[in-house]
Every structure is written in structure tokens, then in C-alpha cells.
């Protein structure tokens, strides 16, 4: 038989274990719903508790607490705080013969949040997420929302529903709810996180140029047209708006015996042309576009490319808005599938240029290529969707941009551009002794993504 002192010790340990449990403290019976505290008027001082719900009926008593201390005589469902107690913590406890349950801890004069907001996917077809604002008091409080992806605020996402962009797939998102009521201090609460499933992308190739014409041929004239000169006669102006050093002519782009399109840049013969920098041209090269022949809207655009060698080279595969004659750059939009710059032979660039970012370096990112872009062919691609653009190298995603403000001017037809520029703002100084460079395109392909994507043949 335990001694009296041992029995007392055991009883004390049981008491400590029950006290440490917190929240609903039950001896075999727990509240199915804890009690809630609400305001009974707009003074911010008058409260009315909503009793807990129990799985088994029991007789209960009540107690109100302010700043963690039981208020003498405050043993009813209703409680009136004093003006001096404003901004102090308040809580309600329900004590039963079989269990105990407590409310949330609120603050006197502040909006009370009894249950936090919650988020759930309500439309599996597009992962549409909606928020339930939870239980709060006073009921007149206005609830506003802000969605987050991890620690990052999702720009413009302030509705009670959110349709995730492709860029959100695989991430966890949540919402912060702000509760505001006249005469009360605002309160905020975060929902739990929810994982946005990755929707499998199904690609169906619907167009391609494999460059399988006879060796020595120019690019297919039903697809491509040469854009010639130094830019002086174009809206971009001399140097194509980038202080480039080359003059484009059509004959430096030819099909090779290996079935690729090679664009050469050379100093040989360049002095036969006059450039915007008031001297004979330093370089000649080629630039081909599909403007007026072929256009694209959304979908996957990809090309297998071997990049140029030498500081000062600037090879690119990119797109411009087909309405460029009516809406000049950057209003027409620019999507750079890849830019391969010789001064950074282990880096591929993927950028957008829109209304806001056009003259400020664009929006996008770069990716490191440990073996460089000039030793072998690599596949560069963009997945262009109505709400996002993603960049890939050799099938690996390395950058994303989401539709979020008026910089997004990518909801219309674009045409393709392939060229090899020399020098300029991005190309930088051309290395001494460099006389020739080239870039090769093995193929260019276009696919729909889950049925999204169009080809326009002119």
C-alpha cells in the first residue's frame, strides 16, 4: 500500500500532467467545440460567451480571466470589462464535472478571432483556392485578404479566392486575413498552408522547322524573312537600340551539310557597308524573323542551339509582338527564349521586356551552364501561358515570371527572331583579334501545352 505522502505525490503529478495539457483539459470527456467569446455591443467592453459543445452532457461552471487572473464574481456567460482593462488579455473557461475547455485568448477592445481562416481547393480543374474567414466578433467586422507563397506576398492577390498560376505549382500558399471594425482595434490571422498540386503538362508538337533543306540553302522563305541593315531605318534606330556593331545581310545564314542553320558574323567584307557610327561597318551578320509569315500565341517554343565563341558575340533566339508596327517596343512586348553572350560563356539569359521593364533591363533570370553553351547543342525553351512564362535549358526549369501588373504585354501574337549580334549594350567590347563567329540552330519547334497554344500562318 502506498504511503500517505506517496499518494499525495502521485496525485500532485497527475494534477501537473492535466495542467500541462492546456486547451481542453478532460478526464475522459473533451469538448467537441471549445467556448467562444463575442462582443454583445459596440463598446468593446461587453462580452457574451458561447458555451462549449460536449460529447457527453455535464454540469458546467464558468470563469472569466483578464491578464491570466480570474476575475472575482465573473462566473456568468456575460461579462463587462472596465475602461481601464482595455487592451488587456481576456479568456473564458468552462469547467465541467468531466472536463474543462477554454476559449482563445483575445484582447479587450480588439476584434476577437475565435477560429482562424482556412483555405481549401474548391475547383480541381484549375486548383482554385478559396478562404473561409473563420469565426470573429463583432460580426460587423470587415475582412480583407492577402495571399502569400511562402514568405512572398503574391502581388494583387487580395480576393477571397485565388486561382494559382503555373508558377505556383508545387508550392505551399496561405492567406493572411485582416479583421477591421469601427471602434475596435484591427486583428490579423494566418490560415494554414495548402500545397498547390503540379498539373502535368502535356505537350503536342504542331509546328517545326528542322532546317533539312539542301546544304548552302537560305532559310525557308515561306517561314523566314531577312531583316537587314544596322537598324537606322527601323524604329529601334542605329545599332538596333543597343549600340550593336554589325550590319545584317541575308547571305550569312545558310543550311549546313549536317542539317542545321548556321548564322555567321564576320569582319570580311563589312567595310563595304556604312554604319550608324559614321565609319564603314566593322561586322556583318544575319538576322531572320517570321514577321508576316508565321506567328505564335502561348505554347512551348524551343530550339536546339550551339552558341557563339568569343567576347563581344551576342547570339539570340527571341520573340517580338506582332503588333510592333502599331505599338512600338516595349509596348509590343519581347520574350527572350535565350540570349548567349560570349563574354559569359557559361551563362544563358531568359528575360521579358514589357511596358514597365523595357528600358530597365527586363524581368527574368540567368542559369549557369557548367560546360558552356558553345561546345555542344543545348535545348532552350519557354512555356508561355496566359498567366506565366517559364524558362528551361535541356528540360530543366530555371526561371519563371508571373502576370501581375501592366508590364505583362504577352497576351497576343508574337513572331520569332534568330540572329547573331556583335558588341552592344549586352554583348560588350569585342575581343581583339576576333574576326569570325557563328551560332547554329539544329531545329525550332512549337507545341501546345494542355491544348493551349496557336500558330498563325500568313
Residue 23 has pLDDT above 50, yes or no: no
The cell numbers describing 98, all together, are 468531466
The verdict on 285 and 422 lying in the same domain is yes
Residue 308 has pLDDT above 60, yes or no: yes
> What is the full DSSP assignment across 149-183?
ETTEE-TT--SSEE---GGGTT-EEEEEEEEE-TT
Task: Please indicate, yes or no, if residue 18 is contained in any of the structural domains.
Answer: no
Residue 274 has pLDDT above 70, yes or no: yes
Query: What is the average per-residue pLDDT within 237-243?
Result: 96
Can you state the percent helix, strand and coil of the chain, rounding each to 5? 10, 45, 45
Residue 16 has pLDDT above 60, yes or no: no
Please check whether residue 77 is in contact with residue 152, taking contact to mean a CB–CB distance below 8 angstroms. Answer: no
Query: What is the average per-residue pLDDT within 238-267?
Result: 97
The verdict on 264 and 397 lying in the same domain is yes
pLDDT confidence of residue 403 = 87
The CATH number that applies at residue 146 is 2.60.40.2700
pLDDT digits (tens, 9 = 90+) for 100-110: 999 999 999 99
Residue 214 has pLDDT above 90, yes or no: yes
pLDDT confidence of residue 44 = 97
pLDDT confidence of residue 361 = 86
| Last-in-domain residue among 107, 128, 158 | 107
Task: Please indicate, yes or no, if residue 15 is contained in any of the structural domains.
Answer: no
pLDDT confidence of residue 1 = 42
pLDDT confidence of residue 108 = 98
Task: Please indicate, yes or no, if residue 364 is contained in any of the structural domains.
Answer: yes
Residue 4 has pLDDT above 50, yes or no: no
What CA–CA distance (Å, rounded) separates 388 from 399? 11
Highest mean pLDDT, choosing among 11-20, 21-30, 120-129, 243-252: 243-252
The verdict on 101 and 183 lying in the same domain is no
The CATH number that applies at residue 388 is 2.60.120.200
Task: Please indicate, yes or no, if residue 1 is contained in any of the structural domains.
Answer: no
What CA–CA distance (Å, rounded) separates 77 from 458? 77
pLDDT digits (tens, 9 = 90+) for 192-212: 999 988 878 899 999 999 999
Residue 132 has pLDDT above 50, yes or no: yes
The verdict on 154 and 245 lying in the same domain is no
Task: Please indicate, yes or no, if residue 31 is contained in any of the structural domains.
Answer: yes
The verdict on 240 and 379 lying in the same domain is yes
Task: Please indicate, yes or no, if residue 10 is contained in any of the structural domains.
Answer: no
The verdict on 185 and 239 lying in the same domain is no
CA neighbor of 366 nearest in space, from 411, 398, 328: 398
| Last-in-domain residue among 107, 129, 148 | 107
The verdict on 136 and 226 lying in the same domain is no
| Last-in-domain residue among 128, 162, 195 | 195
Domain count, the chain: 3
pLDDT digits (tens, 9 = 90+) for 421-439: 999 999 999 999 999 999 9
The verdict on 270 and 408 lying in the same domain is yes
CA neighbor of 301 nearest in space, from 289, 288, 319, 287: 319
Domain assignment of residue 122, given as a range = 113-195
Residues taking part in catalysis = 334, 339
pLDDT confidence of residue 28 = 57
Higher pLDDT, 394 or 12: 394
Please check whether residue 339 is in contact with residue 364, taking contact to mean a CB–CB distance below 8 angstroms. Answer: no
Long-range own/partner contacts, residues 31-34 (CB < 8 A, 24 or more apart): 31/55, 31/94, 31/99, 31/101, 34/101, 34/102, 34/103, 34/104
- DSSP-derived secondary structure letter, 240: G
Task: Please indicate, yes or no, if residue 139 is contained in any of the structural domains.
Answer: yes
The verdict on 320 and 189 lying in the same domain is no
Banded model confidence at residue 58, pLDDT cuts 50, 70, 90? confident
Residue 25 has pLDDT above 80, yes or no: no
The verdict on 162 and 286 lying in the same domain is no
CA angle 126, 337, 397 (to 5 degrees): 55
The verdict on 188 and 208 lying in the same domain is no
Tell me the backbone φ, ψ of residue 9, rounded to 5 degrees: -65, -45
Mean pLDDT of the chain: 92
pLDDT confidence of residue 3 = 45
Highest mean pLDDT, choosing among 20-24, 86-90, 96-100: 86-90
Higher pLDDT, 14 or 74: 74
The CATH number that applies at residue 42 is 2.60.40
Query: What is the average per-residue pLDDT within 327-336?
Result: 96
Residue 5 has pLDDT above 70, yes or no: no
Place of cell 480588439: 110
The verdict on 354 and 426 lying in the same domain is yes
Task: Please indicate, yes or no, if residue 19 is contained in any of the structural domains.
Answer: no
Query: What is the average per-residue pLDDT within 88-95?
Result: 97
Give the pTM. Answer: 0.67
Query: What is the average per-residue pLDDT within 392-408?
Result: 91
Query: What is the average per-residue pLDDT within 211-216?
Result: 97
pLDDT confidence of residue 122 = 86
Amino acid at each position: 500500500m502506498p504511503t500517505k505522502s506517496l499518494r499525495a505525490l502521485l496525485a500532485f503529478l497527475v494534477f501537473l500532467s492535466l495542467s500541462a495539457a492546456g486547451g481542453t483539459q478532460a478526464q475522459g470527456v473533451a469538448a467537441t467545440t471549445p467556448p467562444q467569446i463575442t462582443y454583445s455591443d459596440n463598446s468593446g467592453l461587453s462580452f457574451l460567451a458561447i458555451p462549449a459543445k460536449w460529447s457527453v452532457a455535464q454540469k458546467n461552471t464558468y470563469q472569466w480571466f483578464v491578464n491570466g487572473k480570474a476575475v472575482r464574481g465573473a462566473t456568468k456567460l456575460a461579462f463587462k470589462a472596465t475602461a481601464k482593462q482595455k487592451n488587456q488579455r481576456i479568456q473564458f473557461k468552462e469547467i465541467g464535472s468531466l472536463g474543462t475547455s477554454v476559449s482563445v485568448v483575445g484582447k479587450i477592445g480588439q476584434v476577437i478571432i475565435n477560429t482562424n481562416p482556412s483555405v481549401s481547393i474548391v475547383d480541381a480543374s484549375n486548383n482554385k483556392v478559396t478562404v473561409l474567414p473563420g469565426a470573429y466578433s463583432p460580426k460587423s467586422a470587415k475582412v480583407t485578404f492577402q495571399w502569400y507563397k511562402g514568405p512572398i506576398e503574391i502581388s494583387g492577390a487580395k480576393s477571397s479566392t485565388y486561382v494559382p498560376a503555373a508558377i505556383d505549382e508545387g508550392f505551399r500558399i496561405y492567406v493572411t486575413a485582416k479583421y477591421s471594425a469601427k471602434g475596435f482595434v484591427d486583428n490579423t490571422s494566418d490560415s494554414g498552408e495548402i500545397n498547390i498540386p503540379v498539373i502535368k503538362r502535356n505537350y503536342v508538337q504542331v509546328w517545326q522547322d528542322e532546317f533539312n533543306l539542301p546544304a548552302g540553302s537560305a532559310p525557308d522563305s515561306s517561314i523566314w524573312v531577312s531583316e537587314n541593315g544596322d537598324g537606322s531605318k527601323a524604329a529601334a534606330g542605329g545599332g538596333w537600340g543597343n549600340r550593336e556593331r554589325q550590319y545584317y545581310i541575308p547571305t550569312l545564314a545558310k543550311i549546313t551539310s549536317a542539317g542545321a542553320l548556321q548564322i555567321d558574323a564576320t569582319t570580311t567584307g563589312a567595310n563595304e557597308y556604312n554604319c550608324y557610327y559614321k565609319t564603314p561597318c566593322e561586322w556583318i551578320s544575319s538576322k531572320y524573323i517570321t514577321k508576316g509569315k508565321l506567328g505564335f500565341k502561348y505554347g512551348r517554343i524551343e530550339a536546339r542551339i550551339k552558341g557563339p565563341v568569343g567576347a563581344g558575340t551576342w547570339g539570340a533566339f527571341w520573340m517580338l509582338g506582332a503588333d510592333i508596327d502599331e505599338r512600338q517596343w516595349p509596348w509590343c512586348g519581347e520574350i527572350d527564349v535565350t540570349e548567349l553572350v560570349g563574354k559569359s560563356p557559361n551563362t544563358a539569359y531568359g528575360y521579358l521586356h514589357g511596358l514597365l521593364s523595357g528600358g530597365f533591363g527586363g524581368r527574368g533570370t540567368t542559369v549557369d551552364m557548367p560546360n558552356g553553351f558553345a561546345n555542344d547543342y543545348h535545348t532552350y525553351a519557354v512555356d508561355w501561358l496566359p498567366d506565366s512564362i517559364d524558362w528551361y535549358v535541356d528540360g530543366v526549369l530555371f526561371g519563371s515570371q508571373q502576370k501581375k501588373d501592366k508590364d505583362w504585354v504577352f497576351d497576343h501574337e508574337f513572331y520569332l527572331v534568330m540572329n547573331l549580334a556583335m558588341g552592344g549594350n549586352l554583348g560588350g567590347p569585342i575581343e581583339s583579334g576576333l574576326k569570325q563567329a557563328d551560332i547554329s540552330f539544329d531545329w525550332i519547334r512549337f507545341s501546345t501545352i494542355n491544348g493551349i497554344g496557336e500558330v498563325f500562318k500568313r
